Chains A and B, each alone.
Chain A
Amino acid sequence: MNRIVKAAYAALVFAFLYLPLVVIAVYSFNASKYSLAWKGFTLQWYGKLIGNATLLDAALRSMTIAVVSATVALALGTLAAFMLHQYRFKGRKAVFGGLFVMMMSPDIVIGISLLVLFLGAGLALGFWTLLMGHVTLCMPFAAATVYSRFEGFDPTVVEAARDLGATEYQVFRRIVLPMAAPGLVAAWLLSFTLSLDDVIVSFFTTGPTYEVLPLRIYSMVRLGIKPDVNALSVVMIAITVTAVVLSRRLLKEKS
């Protein structure tokens, strides 16, 4: 392929990926409410967003659930990665397989099966069920991220610590955790964005008492474009971009 053709092709694909995001950003600063025609720069939609209590409440709930579930998923995922990396036990391969299947499972199957579990257990849908759903969604990804970081370790350091009499807990706490720190941050950020991004698992595992942002937006946008949703989208995109760039930086330190 010719260089120019290549560059043009790549540019076209990027244009496809970014056009909607750019359009939303333009809309969010445009004084005209429904049309793309430029009627002047305004921040009124951001002002309207600040006045929209239900939308902001939902955003706050989404952030809360993303922070809590990322933290729990990271804790569980780190333990899982530590266990798979350090211990040899019966069924270790099955655990690998199980985590892989959970990672690949379509969101809707995860959501539906958890809904069946919660209904069967007689739990009321709300914060706690949503939290369990998001931890289930994020944990395998956190485990895989942390595990790949462990693989880069010098195993003799852990052996030396054990030879010098460190207990398993001390090995975990004093040796493995500090060495894995950048990987842990990356895993947390990955879980955080996964949770923030999720629509389908939330749809099935949360109840009317705990409506998160994507579901709030979902019920709003079925009725058409909303200028304050545009403003909110831009804020959300900014948060995501920051998180991605941060996690990339941290992962780069590794190599």
Chain B
Amino acid sequence: MRDNNLFKRLVIGGVLGWMVLFGAVPSLMLLGVSFLKRHPDNLIEPVFSLGSYLELLEPALGSMLIQSMLMAATATLLCLVIGYPFAYIVARAGKRYTKTLLLLVMIPFWTNTLIRTYALVAVLKADGVINRLLLFLGVVDAPIKLMYTQTAVFIGLIYTLLPFMILPLYAAVEKLDLRLLEASRDLGASRWNTFRKITIPLTMPGIVSGCMLVFLPALGMFYIPDILGGAKTMLLGNYIRDQFLVSRNIPLGAAASIAMTVIMGVMLFLYYRSVRRAGRKVRI
């Protein structure tokens, strides 16, 4: 009997210990640092201060934050608009095709994102595939500038994150009870009303989790603006990185990270609510 308890205790203690050490402690340290003062040469001063948070709210930084969130939100919305019909088509393609189509979505999903971002350069640059095609078709006379523009950053974000939108949407559409859609049509609802009042609410958990899986990384993927956007376009991730590694304002970088965690918290809350509304069990 003592053996039994020992194994059980070791397992629980080990897992909990690890989660506290690498999950809770670093998060609390980050929170703590965000409330400290910046020291000119020593990096951090152990003095309580709300300065970093106030600085985040200042017009210059605040507008950067808002702009970054708008960019991430736009990329998320575009992913949703592109991904929803696609997920619908895949889910309704028939058993034989669905599996293959899903596997085809998974492959780019698992390919190194940096390599994929780099591969986009070959498509977007002045003598890249898009420009060659446009020149060949006679749409343009001279190559258009795609690289190092905001458009390139959007393309990069959508390209990298689209599978994160498609997979949860697929799971939601696949679970959809077709009889409910039929009933709605039988009772005289138009196609559009059926979609708006039945399909969308029932697939809401997929929509919300897809948006969460795209929006949060879209705020943080600093290497996409770096490689595709030049130095002009900034995501929250670029800002956090620069505070830690360039400007060396660690409390401010920590405060910006905490802001991002708060955004995540809000999104998780929305997710739980949407799952509950759709009447399903919340699961990992």
Contact surface of A with B, Cβ cutoff 8 Å? 1, 6, 9-10, 13-14, 16-21, 23-24, 27, 34-36, 76, 79-80, 82-83, 87, 89, 91, 95-96, 98-109, 112-117, 120, 132, 135-136, 139, 144, 147, 167-169, 172, 193, 196-197, 199-200, 203-204, 214, 217-218, 221-222, 224-225, 229-230, 233, 236-237, 240-241, 243-245, 248
Q: What residues on B are CB-neighbors of A102 within 8 Å?
A: 19, 23
Interface of A is mostly: helix
Residues of B participating in the A interface, judged by any CB pair closer than 8 Å: 3-4, 7-8, 11-12, 14-16, 18-19, 22-27, 29-30, 33, 82, 85-86, 89-90, 93, 101, 103-108, 110-116, 118-123, 125, 127-129, 132, 159, 162-163, 212, 216-217, 219-223, 226-227, 237, 240-241, 244, 250, 253-254, 257, 260-261, 264, 268, 284
A76 CA to B18 CA in the complex, in Å?
9
Report the bound CA distance from A117 to B25 in whole Å: 8
Also in contact, A27 and B122, with CB within 8 A (given A106-B216, A108-B241, A109-B260): yes
Q: Which of A21, A79, A106, A244 contacts B106 (CB 8 A)?
A: A244
User: Closest B-chain residue to A140, C-beta based?
Assistant: B284
What are 16 of the A-B contact pairs (CB < 8 Å)? A9-B86, A17-B159, A17-B162, A20-B119, A21-B111, A21-B116, A82-B11, A105-B264, A109-B257, A109-B264, A115-B244, A167-B7, A172-B7, A218-B223, A222-B226, A248-B103
Contact A199 B114 (CB under 8 A): yes
Question: Which residues of chain B have C-beta atoms less than 8 A from A19's C-beta?
Answer: 123, 129
A14 touching B104 by the CB < 8 A rule?
A: yes
**When the two chains form their complex, are residues A104 and B264 in contact, meaning their CB atoms are under 8 A apart?**
yes
A116 touches B89 (CB 8 A): no
Closest to A248 in B: B103
